[in-house]
Structure 1
């Protein structure tokens, strides 16, 4: 069971490793809103590429869907990046229940955005966990983990891809554990309830940069919001024109002396240096709304900012 790209490396290892895949369960395709239609989800594309059967119920917990699952007489569900929460009846549709590959070191970051939340929090390391599934979201006993350091250059997208490959061997080892399980004895290690943290889905509102924050916080925001929803900031260049929305794609630490500037104020006319709460950041790459990606230097040459121009402070009442 999977939908997004995080599932594909482990699923492909199962396919090529001699396991019989009874069915690939994925979320249904969204309604077509244009002639081209939406791009196929990664798990669906992978299944079609290898001519594997697909089951895509609107709700996996619907009684008819559960009867369909039972009809496959599968031993185990392998769930990763699926997008639906399985209730007890669905979990009981296979002999050994289900295992789930999760992109964090559980019990940290239970929820839909574990990779992004670890990066946004400035964590030095993260990893993957495999649990034996229970009805509680990401709350089952842990069968195994793998840990890795987070690079100070990685975006969420890059880190997620790396973690998806880190989990492959772990998934295979945990399945091997289950081949000798009697279905009754204790399995894995219970999660410490006192250490639980949540990883809710990202929102566009969270992506607006507050330059009153420390430089490290802003750097983590820029990297953590890629590939979606992308960190941004609003820049008012001319009084008679609306503020320009700039997607901020890469920043770096700057040693520029900005002690006489307020957070959000732009320093210099060659490099795009912005004052923060505790120093300054250089905007390396950005994208003006409707334009291509460009360097900070290119942006300054093209837009010729007035002196003392500042990025706007986020407005909590403005929708993104």
Structure 2
């Protein structure tokens, strides 16, 4: 094989490799589609996207969609939004939907909403077709102490101008719940709430609860009102039970003090009895001393004995009489 033949074969292989590399690196098919769709994009731009690690299809296809919808967008702006971490396809769909619904939404505004973490397409859809947010069961107590459980449905519409930095659905639900609790709490009786539930929605709606949120509240409808517990009666019962326990504690304290006083009195009586016994034990000695010294005569001694005998007899009769009475009573 001659050198010219080898060189020719090598040249052909190199050409084939270059062609394969070109078609692999340059999305020619995508460029042709864009060209026939009326989107003017340079091949160098597509190569630059490859070098910047941007998938050209993620930029060119939304650009084709926007062009066909009549939007005038810049492909560099779309690529910049993609590099910033945004969703180009969703942004273009939102811009098209806003254009069809006559909603003033600029590309910069939509890109800011998308980069803020909100679904810009859903925001446009909610702006066109209002969304219903259902609150959980909200417990409130009227002035008569009856608990009322309320569930409401809040119809909201997205506010495009406040989507960036505006509060979400959780804030709407919390504010509506607070307004319901306040309104029911100001009612004199739970019957007034049951008879006129639309007064709750009217009062709550007048509070301007959508201030600083990403939504505009269109209406607040009371879906359900249920009567629950009698909180006032329960509180009174708990208070009465607490008062009862306090009274029982004070009575126990007084009982303990009375028992202690009784024990003290018994101790005093026993001490007095001991003194009496001690004194009685000294009487015979004193009488003997008196007889010995002549201070007490024999007749006086016998008189004392007779008096003691009479006293003992009367005590015996009295005890027998009391015993008979007790037996008859039994």
- Bin the TM-score by the shorter chain: under 0.3
TM-score, normalising length from structure 2? Answer: 0.23
- TM-score, normalised via structure 1 length: 0.24
Structure with higher strand content: 1
Bigger radius of gyration, 1 or 2? 2
Greater helix content: 2
Higher relative contact order (CA 8 A, sep 6+): 1
